[in-house]
Structure 1
Amino acid sequence: MNGFRTTMLLAALTALFMALGFTIGGSGGALVALLVAGAMNLFTFWNADRIVLAMHGAREVDAQQCPEFVGLVAGLARRANLPMPRVFVIDSPHPNAFATGRDPAHAAVAATTGLLGLLDRDEIEGVMAHELGHVRNRDTLIMTMTATIAGAISMLANFGLFFGHDRDREGGNVLATILAVLVAPFAAMIVQMAISRGREYGADRAGAEISGKPHALASALAKLAQGAAHIPNPVAERNPAAAALYIVPGMARAGDSLFSTHPDTGNRIALLQQMAAELGVRPSRPSAGIAASVPTTRRKVSALDPRGRR
């Protein structure tokens, strides 16, 4: 997705938010909506990474605690010409990864122990290159902004359901208010998901370029999609908005539907294979994993079964 389209979608979200405020409270409501959106975006701009990492119980690791994983990320960051991000590990059998932070200088990348146990080194390299692609493309800030505005729209719609009728009794249109508070969150969700899907395609391409291993990233996506669809992710279940953060969704979905936070995995794999053919890159042999070098604070479990069975 190019920058112009993203800008237009963000503008549409903001306009939708202000229109909902106007429907509920007139010009004053639109102004209040704009001020609330600005305050929420300012707060998330400075604190989104801490909120997201705390939500997942992520723990930061350094080169002494986790030399292989941190060294892998450091090498990719140099290749991408990015500052070294903070590196986090999440003790969870659910295989996934994400990036967060307001800009490349304040970025963080995180992977679950389930992912590190499921993938080989080349595949992990492809995944972390994908996350650094998000950082390089500044997707982490964009996705934070869209999630914040979409959340504010839902909050305002709930407010309108309870308090919007006072203005209706003074001459406003009851039907218009009801339609606005019902349709606005739905429209915001679609716009947010459209931005997320487009950003995943861009990060896949960037990740393949940074790692130089599009086949490894394609293989990782196939494994992660299967694993994530069968292993619960309590964080995403408690906070559905977190689903857009991950490299793969938390449950299996067919096709690029309007209601999916991610593109179809098969389509992503096909594009990566096409990219590999264009670059003349051949699949490499499976490499060793790095999970054994990652300390965990929990009982070791299989990456394929949260109960520890194979």
Structure 2
Amino acid sequence: MSENGLKTAVLMAGILALFGAIGALLGGKSGMLLALMFGGAMNVYAWWNSDQMMLRMYNAQEVDAGSAPDFYHMVAELAQRANMPMPRVYVIHEDQPNAFATGRDPEHAAVAATTGIMRILDYRELRGVMAHELAHVRHRDTLISTVSASMAGAISALANFALFFGGRNSEGRAVNPLAGILLALLAPLAASLIQMAISRAREFDADQGGAEISGDPLALAAALEKIEYYARGIPMPAAEAHPETAQMMIINPLSGMGMDNLFRTHPLTEERIARLHAMTRGA
């Protein structure tokens, strides 16, 4: 297992621990079991429907070789190079340059790009971006992202329930109200931070995998630099309405991108670019 893979496993375990802690607060051992069962049911639903959920949120339109020949054939060529099934291909009518991949596995995957990214990038740069998204599919990051997002959302819902209705320990006694309030307030924040850390860990692997699929690390590096520059000044209303999906994008689509590094959904773009340049030097 790679360093990033190990980090992801540890972080996912952290989210699961938070989920269990809130369940225990609400009802002791029985509450913990019920909370984990609830989270499991949410994850099954998200796993099965993740692609359609994400695509509907962004009003993505499916395209084919007739409606978007250059873009579609680009993805087909990259999928063939990666020895992967052909994903469904979508276009999002948003001015902000961005792209994402979704789906529970490579056989049920979809990739999407905004009209904004198609305008600002040349063919080589866009090819690097789509190779990055296919790397996410090959690494099954889309499943990890869906699970972490649904777990984080469930933790927030349970924490709100705990905040308003309190909780009981395994003996049935009411817990310390202050402890309950602190857990209810801090657990969603911790879950969000863990979710962001998972996203950051997976982006480096997808950059490397995408560069290998395309055979052109510098094209992805140039694309990241352009996307970062333009995305800062162009809002994406769909992302602002669904901030939990920000981690799925190649560059953070949300406003307020000057936040402390702790709250970033993506690694620093400068570091990503540096690593891609290092690949061409054999470092």
Would the aligned equivalents of 1:235 and 1:242 in 2 still touch at CA under 8 Å? Answer: no
Alpha-carbon displacement from aligned partner over 1:11-46 (angstroms, at most 9, x marks no partner): 111111011110122112111111110110000011
Cα gap change, 1:256 to 1:272, in 2 (>3 Å): farther
Aligned residue number for residue 57 of structure 1: 59
In structure 2, runs of 5+ residues without a counterpart are none
Cα shift at 1:257 = 1.6
Q: State the distance in 1 between where 2:276 and 2:123 align.
A: 18
Q: State the distance in 1 between where 2:236 and 2:134 align.
A: 23
Alpha-carbon displacement from aligned partner over 1:73-102 (angstroms, at most 9, x marks no partner): 000001111000000001111110000000
Cα shift at 1:4 = 2.5
For 1:25, the aligned partner's letter is: G
Which of the numbers 174, 179, 189 marks the counterpart of 1:176? 179
Please show how residues 28-43 of structure 1 align to structure 2 within 5 Å.
28-43=30-45
Please show how residues 186-197 of structure 1 align to structure 2 within 5 Å.
186-197=189-200
Aligned residue number for residue 251 of structure 2: 248
Aligned residue number for residue 261 of structure 1: 265
Q: State the distance in 2 between where 1:106 and 1:114 align.
A: 25
Q: State the distance in 2 between where 1:26 and 1:169 align.
A: 7
Aligned residue number for residue 280 of structure 2: 276
The count of residues paired between Structure 1 and Structure 2 equals: 279
Q: State the distance in 2 between where 1:174 and 1:210 align.
A: 54
Which of the numbers 157, 161, 168 marks the counterpart of 2:159? 157
Q: State the distance in 2 between where 1:68 and 1:240 align.
A: 31
Aligned residue number for residue 108 of structure 1: 110
CA RMSD of aligned residues (A): 1.8
Cα gap change, 1:134 to 1:256, in 2 (>3 Å): farther
Cα shift at 1:103 = 0.2
Aligned residue number for residue 202 of structure 1: 205
In structure 1, runs of 5+ residues without a counterpart are 280-310
**Comparing 127-136 and 177-186, the one that deviates more:** 177-186
Cα shift at 1:171 = 4.1
Cα shift at 1:174 = 1.6
TM-score calculated relative to the size of structure 2: 0.94
Q: Considering only CA atoms, is the larger Rg found in Structure 1 or Structure 2? A: 1
Alpha-carbon displacement from aligned partner over 1:131-150 (angstroms, at most 9, x marks no partner): 00100110000000000111
Would the aligned equivalents of 1:126 and 1:213 in 2 still touch at CA under 8 Å? Answer: yes
Would the aligned equivalents of 1:93 and 1:113 in 2 still touch at CA under 8 Å? Answer: yes
Cα shift at 1:166 = 7.2
**Comparing 259-268 and 245-254, the one that deviates more:** 245-254
- Of all paired residues, the percent bearing the same amino acid is 54
For 1:59, the aligned partner's letter is: Q
Q: State the distance in 1 between where 2:217 and 2:119 align.
A: 20
TM-score calculated relative to the size of structure 1: 0.86
Cα shift at 1:254 = 5.5
For 1:261, the aligned partner's letter is: T
Cα gap change, 1:264 to 1:161, in 2 (>3 Å): same
Aligned residue number for residue 298 of structure 1: none
Instruction: State the SS of the aligned residue for 1:23.
Output: helix
Cα shift at 1:169 = 10
Instruction: State the SS of the aligned residue for 1:231.
Output: coil
Would the aligned equivalents of 1:98 and 1:245 in 2 still touch at CA under 8 Å? Answer: yes
Q: Is the aligned partner of 1:225 residue 2:228?
A: yes
Q: State the distance in 1 between where 2:221 and 2:258 align.
A: 17
Instruction: State the SS of the aligned residue for 2:163.
Output: helix
Q: Is the aligned partner of 1:4 residue 2:45?
A: no
Q: State the distance in 2 between where 1:44 and 1:193 align.
A: 18
Cα shift at 1:278 = 1.4
Instruction: State the SS of the aligned residue for 2:95.
Output: coil
